[in-house]
Amino acid sequence: MPTAHPHTSAASAWDLPDLTERALAGFRPSRRARRRMWLRVAVAVAGLCQLGVVLGQFLAVKPAHATGHLLHETAAFNLAVGVALLWAAARPGRARSQLPVLVTVSVFLVLLSVLDVVWAHVSWARLGTHLPLLAGALLTVLLGRIDHGAPTPGRRAERTGPLVRAR
């Protein structure tokens, strides 16, 4: 018949402290992960709003800025921007890949819009339809910055400091 170890008993197993909170603390998302999640949600909302701009272009009885083929071109462009924003939200590790187009269109859109306002070619209501694109571009820049260098599946984290080997 097996004998119990002299320093163990069934009662001592129940006297252990509850370490649940301490153990789970290591599984809480980091501040960076929480920021990344909020940015992803915000970029997705901007992308959905941009798709709403496209829908508004087709539902308008008298489109404010274009008709016919020009309306279709701008709708296709706005749809592509919406998809780019949703892509960045869904794949934050690839958000930086959308930046050349999003930043370029944002900069030129702002410059041309300022000229249009100065020359009274556009109303403020029309300019408001650019907000999802501009907000989405800015949020995608932030998402790309927060995600830059973070390890993702199939990619190693960037190393800096003394651990980097010369090649």
Mean pLDDT split into 10-residue runs, the chain, 167 residues: 60 71 76 92 97 87 70 90 97 94 95 90 85 96 82 55 51
Tell me whether residue 163 is in a domain. Answer: no
- pLDDT at position 50: 96
Tell me whether residue 139 is in a domain. Answer: yes
Q: How many domains is the chain built from?
A: 1
Tell me whether residue 167 is in a domain. Answer: no
Q: What does the angle CA 12 – CA 18 – CA 24 come to, to the nearest 5 degrees?
A: 140
- pLDDT at position 18: 80
- pLDDT at position 3: 61
Q: Is 80 exposed, middle or buried (0-12, 13-18, 19+ CB in 10 A)?
A: middle
Tell me whether residue 2 is in a domain. Answer: no
Q: Give the range of the structural domain holding residue 42, as residue numbers without chain letter.
A: 31-147
